[in-house]
A and B are shown apart, each in its own frame.
Chain A
Amino acid sequence: MKLSKKVVLLGHFGVGKTSLFKRFIDNEFSEEYKVTLGVQIKKKVVILPDGRELSMIIWDAEGHSNSVEDTRKSYLLGSHAFIYVFDLTREDTYIHLNKDLTYLKENYKVPTKVLGNKLDLVNEKEMIAALKSKDIPFDCLTSAKTNKNVQQFFSDLSIEITT
């Protein structure tokens, strides 16, 4: 059987989940903001370092307004990983991050990677210092617009969920 893993993109609306989704799957980017209603799902086959093929099924879920608990439960079923995306320029998208992470950890036994997006709009060093000072955990900072760290992030994730 082919190796297949479901990964769900979560986070507030407008943080760039769809942009990351499109950048990773189709290597496309658009400045235009289009709301995602429900979920869109696409597959990308990734070659793992050991030569195996992994079908990453990425679920780009609609963004929530307040808490990740608002995300439809059925979207999260059968997931192998979550990617919690926040917008580096909007504090309200990561101010409750720790609470959301606790919720995911307690209810779903899968890893959650935290990703700060829109790196092209901030000073990276200052941003890292600011996030640390606010006790905001993150695994990677990306820019879907410039493609900075996007492919690497998904590549690392594919290895993590298959080992």
Chain B
Amino acid sequence: MTIQQIDHLHFNPQLQTLEISYDYEIIETTQTLFNWTKGTSIFDAHPFFQVLQGFEKNDPTIQDGLNFPCIHLTDLVTDRICDISITFNPSEIKIILFDYTLKYKELNQIAQQKNESILIARELELKNKYLLEKEEFKNSFIANINHEIRTPLTAIMGFVEILEKTHLTFEQEELARIIKRESRHLNALIDDMIDISKIESGTLRVVEERFAFLNLVDGFDESYSKIAEEKGLIFETNIEPGIQEYLIGDRTRTYQIINNILNNAFKFTEEGKITLSVTKNYQRTNKLSLNFKIEDTGLGILEEDIPHLFDRFTRFNLDKRITGTGLGLAIVKNLVDLLNGEIKVESKPDKGTTFNIKLPFKFEITKTTPKRKKKNYSLPESSNKYRILVVEDEEITQFLIMKILIATGNFFIDIAINGQDAITYIERRKYDLILMDLNISQLDGYQVTKMIRNNYGDKFISGLPIIGFSGKSDDATKDKCLKSGMDDFIAKPFEQEELLYKIIKQIAKKAAE
């Protein structure tokens, strides 16, 4: 059969047939696809054909011929995608080119889309991984810096409290008061920073707990009435009758939201009145929606500023005497959203501002619980002083705790500067309580606690009251302390009164056993 006959047989103009000698010279060819010339080397036609060099005439692997799909063949004028079939005959090599350019170009588009979408997805995955790593680094940085700042702050606040109890002139008293106020402010800023970081990373969790709601509102009444008195303002709290005394919800975050708004109201109100009103929106079965309305007669906010009120680092008032980072309301908005609530604001410059916050709660329908009050504890009578082991590596905190405890006249203090030291001390001496910093060298506070609880047959050692303390003030740290076997936890910076209360409580409880 001649070459022309083969072409004719296939009725396919998209086909070119070549006969090649074993010297790789073109013996015969149609010129349907490429204008290759008889008598020239097939290698000059396209480098693909140099594949022929790889096979011997009698190579058994090529007896059935070779098929090469989807080969891009180009010469100076033509660009085609062909399937190539090669047959090794005794006297010549027969090559057939099938032009499937159109078919392959269509497939190419599909492959392009498929591969591109995979590559884009991978790229996004990578970007996401990078952002997560960055976020993790930021969170760990904030957690570390938090610890580093709170430690000296604990010392500053503690020593100011001690200083206030000494004989001071009027001017010295005033200066001590300023240091105390600014330290508290700094502490609040750190809290804000931690919160905003948790909100951003999505690690802030809503807690559902039963809590004394009316007690919470009473707390606002008590603390802000004092501030109102100092500033010459009127402060009122109104609670709609019938609101349950105990509610189920996130007490900490509810407190934080209302406290932040009240704090702002007091910051920006120089005269007049601030009111906190709590009313019911609705109550269905065990669900309840409350509205917290906080009205002030302060500076007010310009209408054009209201849409940006909850943006981070937004401060409209440039009076430098009014401190703040501009994070407070951003946190409030995020917390309200997290609790599935709603916040609205109305304001008129020089007239005042009203915030309305709707928050959902639950309540127990049947259970009635007597009002819980903070129980008073006192040290059991003893002819000896109580001995406390303070496990802390920071000298300044050691000194502060010693000052606070020794001033009461009830305690002896030993100091261990690391976990291993703590173990040595408790094996040598009997203690009534351990104050355990969590972040100590050799063995950390959790490890030491676990060893005390598990490694000693002596019940006096294994049952020692342990209070953990740390610059980390979050619930997770507290939970970890309690799970490791500690009896209580106190966050730095702590107030003297709180520290003493917790120590006395644990010693009294132990004595009662």
Contacts and interface: CB of A to CB of B under 8 A. Distances in A.
A38 B53 contact: no
Given A37-B111, A92-B122, A74 B66 contact: yes
A102 to B, nearest CB: 22
A41 B70 contact: no
Interface string B98-129: 00000010011001100110110010001000
A35 B112 contact: yes
Interface string A34-77: 11011111110000000000010100001101000000101101
A41 B71 contact: yes
B48 A35 contact: no
Nearest to A40: B72
A42 B46 CA distance: 8
B478 to A, nearest CB: 38
Majority secondary structure of chain A interface residues (helix, strand, loop or mixed):
loop
B122 A75 contact: no
Interface string B465-503: 000000000000000000000000000000000000000
A86 to B, nearest CB: 13
Given A74-B67, A92-B122, A35 B111 contact: yes
Contacts of B81: 37-38
B47 A39 contact: no
Contacts of B456: none
A57 B111 CA distance: 25
A34 B81 CA distance: 16
Contacts, number: 74
Interface residues of B, number: 28
B53 A89 contact: no
A10 B140 CA distance: 42
B241 interface: no
B54 interface: yes
A78 B51 contact: yes
Contacts of B126: 89-90
A14 B104 contact: no
Contacts of B48: 41
Contact of A35 (B46, B72, B115): B115
Contacts of B72: 38-41
A77 B59 CA distance: 13
B255 interface: no
A39 B71 CA distance: 5
Given A4-B53, A6-B50, A77-B51, A37 B70 contact: yes
Interface in B25-57: 43, 46-48, 50-51, 53-55
Contacts of A37: 70, 81, 104, 107-108, 111
Given A33-B116, A72-B69, A78-B55, A38 B104 contact: yes
A14 B119 contact: yes
Contacts of A55: 47, 50
Interface centre among A37, A40, A65, by most B CB within 10 Å?
A: A37
Contacts of A4: 43, 50, 53
Nearest to A43: B47
Contacts of B104: 37-38
A82 interface: no
Contacts of A90: 122, 126
A74 B68 contact: yes
A41 B115 contact: no
A13 interface: yes
A42 B79 CA distance: 13
A40 B74 CA distance: 9
A16 to B, nearest CB: 12
Given A13-B118, A14-B118, 18 more contacts: A4-B50, A6-B54, A13-B115, A14-B115, A14-B119, A33-B115, A34-B112, A35-B112, A37-B108, A38-B71, A39-B72, A41-B48, A42-B47, A55-B47, A74-B67, A77-B66, A78-B51, A89-B126
Interface of A: 4, 6, 13-14, 33-35, 37-43, 55, 57, 62-63, 65, 72, 74-75, 77-79, 89-90, 92
26 contacts: A4-B43, A6-B50, A6-B51, A13-B115, A14-B118, A14-B119, A33-B115, A33-B116, A33-B119, A35-B108, A37-B107, A37-B108, A37-B111, A38-B72, A39-B70, A39-B71, A55-B50, A57-B51, A62-B70, A63-B115, A74-B66, A74-B68, A75-B68, A77-B54, A78-B53, A92-B122
